[in-house]
Structure 1
């Protein structure tokens, strides 16, 4: 997904604060989506979430209850839901948001 975002001059969305998380949550709901993939992952080191593009650590965000849980030791990407962010399997996802600097 990040490669698709790069092809249009962007990258998977990076949630830099709780305010941005709330904004993106409202955006997802307004477009009648259940969730969307972000650019955060813990592929390199379990439990340490960083962004694909900037390599910055993901800040303290509101996680969905019981998460991150790395279910079956296979959840290394982060999606945004109306109830918070959630770790998911990286290849399981279709909806995503590209961030493009203007």
Structure 2
């Protein structure tokens, strides 16, 4: 004879504890599939929109960078070197600072 602890309650056989699962009807399964398909399409659409937005932002950054570089080049002061002998006499540090265009 086993003692039953009052706060645990009486033990029941396992087969009575397990609930039988209810099978879904064909209509319910079909509705569920359609719902999942619609959600997947929405996800794909949102991903495409995000990718397009990122692409536009990247292009805008690239245009801005190019415009900035052009403006810098327009605003710099340039001195044309006609006497190449001066270049040969220049120290190496100064030669490194020169830019050829």
TM-score (norm 1): 0.17
Q: Which has the higher contact order (CA 8 A, sep 6+)?
A: 1
Bigger strand share: 1
| Structure possessing the higher radius of gyration over alpha carbons | 2
TM-score (norm 2): 0.17
